[in-house]
Structure 1
């Protein structure tokens, strides 16, 4: 698989060239880049990586109300006591709860999810990556705000498994 710096270089080359589409496949992984104007495409990463690159598009985060626990220590105790599953970020990027500011969030507290349910988007270098729940259950808590920068491995949601 390509390293992130190599992907960045490919993006720059495709962006500066006259080609409209570029596909790279290696060892069951696939990267697909397309140039389009004023249109954002959200892609779903699978076991085989599939990512589409678009011309720069401005995405404005939608305001989200979120409750904050009074005691972080109590939250960890509840997590351990209930054996809650953490959905974590697979990359560094910007967290978005919806595909665009004018639509509802993929999930909210109380939403039921299945293994292949999309729960959010993490945007990195103009690539919009849909994040799946990877577990059947109920969303108990959203741990980050819409538009917040997230780190690799950072917990995004707590899910009560079914």
Structure 2
């Protein structure tokens, strides 16, 4: 497992480079670092070797383009659970990382927010735990919580909708 100092150094290296997305998996632990830009992702995808020699490989450039398009589509089209009551005015609060969703600061505490609660830009709505770090997530929008889309203790993905909000 990477240490905090190693992660900080990795972030500094990425910040100075042209790489926009890095994904690392080590001993079952996953780390994703994404630069926040409006430009297309400049990634170095992992290309698996064929399992048999009978497999005909596409040109490597075509493989890279397909994987980058697939990666961008997954980020842009984060799935919304069917029970979500989205309409043109509702927005979602999405997970900024892969981790475990916690609705409350402690197992025996009340949740940060529940359906019907008013929130503003700085209201803490949940915690997403990643690599033993508890990351408080702020609403970043002013409005009313219409629906909570995930259960306490559930694993969440990057970009996964967590809350539906009716903005003020």
Indicate the TM-score class for this superposition, using the shorter chain for normalisation.
0.5 to 0.7
Corresponding residue of 1:103: 109
Corresponding residue of 1:115: 121
Corresponding residue of 2:143: 137
Match of 1:9 among 2, 5, 8: 2
Corresponding residue of 1:42: none
User: Could you list the runs of 5+ residues in structure 2 that have no partner in the other structure?
Assistant: 16-80
Corresponding residue of 2:31: none
Write out aligned runs for 1:1-162 (5 A): 8-11=1-4, 72=82, 75=83, 78-81=85-88, 83-162=89-168
SS in 1 for 2:2: helix
Q: CA-to-partner distance for each residue in 1:58-95, whole Å, 9 max, x for gaps?
A: xxxxxxxxxxxxx93xx56x4124x1110000000000
Q: How far apart in 1 are the matches of 2:2 and 2:141?
A: 35
How big is the alpha-carbon RMSD for the aligned residues of Structure 1 and Structure 2?
A: 2.8
SS in 1 for 2:86: helix
Q: Flag the structure with larger Rg.
A: 2
User: Could you list the runs of 5+ residues in structure 1 that have no partner in the other structure?
Assistant: 1-7, 14-22, 30-70
Equivalent residue pairs, number = 101
Runs of 4+ in 1 over 3 A off after TM superposition: 23-26
Q: CA-to-partner distance for each residue in 1:88-127, whole Å, 9 max, x for gaps?
A: 0000000000010111000000000000000000001100
SS in 2 for 1:102: coil
